[in-house]
Each structure stands twice: as structure tokens, then as C-alpha cells.
Amino acid sequence: MAKKASIKRKTANVEPEKKSTQNNQTYFQKNISVIKSAFKSPGKSIAMMSLMDILLYASAYAIFQIALLLLLSLDSGSGSVVGLLSKILSLTQQQAENLVSQLIWILVRLLSIIIGAYIALILAWSLFKGISWNIAANKRFDVAFFRKFFLLNLFWAAILLALFLIISLGFQQSSVPMSLLAVSFIFLYFTPIIYAINTEKRRFGSIASGLKMGILKIHYFVLPFALSLLLYYLSFNIPVLLRLQGNAATAAFLLLLSISAAVSRLYYVQMTKELQI
């Protein structure tokens, strides 16, 4: 009886070790399988995705420049807003009422420019990122996908903005930079997972699925996330090491950043396929 009990104890001790070894093998085997599948013939895909990202950067720059010009052109016809406000105490009641009307009109135009620029940015982001992720997943980009992807980006941006405001208002004003860092970290970690699932499933609920997968399967995404950050870091520092300056440094940085994003995209698409929840 004592021998049987001893054998049972040994067997019980061996089982967890076997399971741990199997889990480690499964983890590494899955990562190797994902890498092999993702990078079978990446050349053309990476080039096309990099081009889409560069077009996105160019579009964003154009949108910012147009918005800036419109903001600078805000003029009530009687001088700048600050100049109008400085005159308010010296005006008659009728003149003051006219001034208030002018200021309201300026405020409406200001909000219109900001909202218009924001929507234009989300549209450009949804277009070029949508094409890129469909290239990575070998899917077809169409109007139906673009519409859903645009709405998903609006909702995801609203969630991130709400998180930023909650974190910022919940602490001291000096914590705003830390709040921005925390939200940026959440954006960089979860967004590729959400986009990969959305490209495959093509449904609005991809945000919830992406958050769930990112939390429950975090051990599968820590390595690619760290590698992505490393690639972005190198994209920023290589132009510095090469002592590039001005437009040459900016162009090199954006090109390297686009290539890094494309490489990461292929991995995330394949990994989310393997980790279906």
C-alpha cells in the first residue's frame, strides 16, 4: 500500500510538470507558427501598407494645415477676438450686443473648423488604415467595411478621450502628462488587436472582443507589443544616428515608422486568427 501511495504521489508531481512543459511548447510553437504564416511572402504587402501609412501622414498634414489657415482667417471684420474683447467696456449697449453676436459667430466657426478637422482626420485614418489592415489580412476593402470601420474609430476615439478625461480629472493637474501616457499605452496595445479582429470578423463588436482578447491572452501579445515599441524607437533614432536633419530626417522617420507598422500588422492579424475567443 505504501509503495502504491508513493507511486501516486510521484505521478501527481509529474503531471503538473508535463502540463507546464506542454503549455510552454504550445506557446512557443504558436508564436513560431504565427511568424511563419505571417511572413510567407511579405515584401509586396509591406510595401503597399507602408505606402498607405505615408499617404495617411500626408493627408493628416494637409488637414492640419487647412485647419490652421481657417483658424487664422477667423476675423469678425473689426479686428482680432482679443481686440474685440478689449473694446467691450467702451461700447454702448447696442454696440456691445453686436459684438456679442460677432463673437458667437466666431465661436461657431471655430467649433465647426475643429469638428470638421477631427472628422476629416478620422475619415483619412479609416480609409488608409482600413486598406492597410485588409492588405495584411488578405481581405477585400469595400464601402461597407469602410463605413463600419469609420464608426468603430469614432467610438474607440470617444472611449480613449473619456478615459483621458477621467484619469486627468481624477488626479491633480500635474498628472495630465501621465494620463496622456497611460491612454497612449492603451491605444498602442489594444488598437492593433481590435483592428485585426475587426478586419477578420467585420463587426462593430470588435472593440469588446479586442479588449477581451488583449486581457485574457496578454502573454501572447506582450512580446509583439514590446517588439513594436522597439521598432518605433529605432524608427525615431536611426535618422538621428545617421545625422539626418530637416526634411530628410522627417522623411526617413516616417518611412521607417510605416515599415515597422506594416511588419507588426502582419503578426497581429495572424495571431488573432490563432487565438479566436
Sign for the CA dihedral angle at 121, 122, 124, 130 comes to positive
* Tens of pLDDT, residues 27-84: 666 666 666 655 565 667 888 999 999 999 999 999 999 999 988 887 544 455 555 5
- 143 dihedral zone (left: phi>0; alpha: psi -120 to 50; beta): alpha
CA 46 to chain centre: 18
pLDDT value for 189: 93
Question: What integer best gives the mean pLDDT of the chain?
Answer: 79
pTM of the model: 0.78
Q: Assign 216 a pLDDT band (cuts: 50, 70, 90).
A: very high
Counting residues of the chain whose pLDDT is more than 90, the rounded percentage is: 34
In eight-state DSSP terms, residue 242 is T
What are the extents of the domains in the chain?
A: 42-274
* 116-167 residue pLDDT tens: 999 999 999 999 999 999 999 989 999 999 999 999 999 999 999 998 888 8
How buried is residue 246: exposed, middle or buried, by Cβ count under 10 Å (0-12/13-18/19+)? exposed
CA nearest to 251, candidates 121, 57, 64: 57
Report d(CA 76, CA 209) in Å as an integer: 49
Report the alpha-carbon distance of residue 130 to residue 141 in Å, rounded: 7
